[in-house]
Amino acid sequence: MTEQRVALITGSSSGIGAAIAERLSAEGFRIVVNSARSAEQGTDFARSLPDAVYVQADISDEDEARRLVDAAVERYGRLDVLVNSAGTTKVVPHADIAAVTPELWRTILGVNVIGTWQVSAAAAPYLAKGAANGSGPGNIVNISSVAGSRPVGSSIPYAVSKAALDHMTRLLAAALGPDIRVNSVAPALTETPWTQDSPFFQQIAEKVRQSTPLRRVGTSAEVAEAVLAVLRIEHMTGAVIPVDGGARLI
């Protein structure tokens, strides 16, 4: 009997990360749920899955990022998939340059870029073991954004962080192959608990419905399906897969 694969999904107590955790769990993965805060919510969510554990850790802290990976391997004895879903932002109109402080840059890049790097670097030795043992390459899937390739997004630092994440994807894919595949999934505006409560979301959602080819906002479940597709397509690495309803075309 083949041992169950293990997936660590950062930022997975709610929203897109939780949808990915549910989808991979349904495929038989054992799941490591993570968040920097909302520990009670994350613990309850992990309990709702057949075989999952919750680990609270702030990935922007190098020691905590390493502890998160170590806790996953200690619990399950292996790590096959890392989904970097944790991210942060602040809504700042792009023209409001004065509102974008150095501290905001540090906060957003600290999670979205440096945090993703820290978890990926800590996970890489474990992800590579599957290839060494003959069970195929490990996988890193980064959750990016259409803002990484277009002049859109909740703020300029956020968009820049996603552009950096896409290029990190390509660089790591070249550096870590053939033992680890690295890809990104890049959604456009997606329904989550945060976006549904956000006036910014409501304003942009109306524009999406009027101007994009598919005329609607995406769902977290659709992003999760894209992640699963990336994991299934074994001859893919260094790709940035849009799940954007055609938003990149306008």
**Residue 190, beta-bridge partner list:** 218
Domain with 131 in it: 6-191+219-242
Identity (one letter) of the amino acid at 64?
Answer: E
Q: Is 250 contained in some domain?
A: no
Task: Select which of 54, 76, 126, 158 is catalytic.
Answer: 158
CATH number where 223 lies:
3.40.50.720
Q: pLDDT for 12-24, tens place per residue?
A: 999 999 999 999 9
Judge contact between 227 and 83, C-beta under 8 A. yes
Its pTM stands at: 0.94
Q: What is the pLDDT of residues 69-99, one digit of tens each?
A: 999 999 999 999 999 999 999 999 999 999 9
Question: Does residue 203 lie within any of the structural domains?
Answer: no
d(CA 86, CA 194): 13
Q: Is residue 88 part of a domain?
A: yes
Is residue 52, in this structure, part of any structural domain at all? yes
| In-domain check, residue 133 | yes
Report yes or no on 207 lying in a domain: no
Within a domain: residue 201? no
The whole-number pLDDT of residue 130 equals 82
Task: State the total domains in the chain.
Answer: 1
Q: Examine residue 35 and state whether it is found in any structural domain, yes or no.
A: yes
| 158 labelled catalytic | yes
pLDDT tens digits, one per residue of 93-116: 999 999 999 999 999 999 999 999
Indicate whether 231 pLDDT > 80: yes
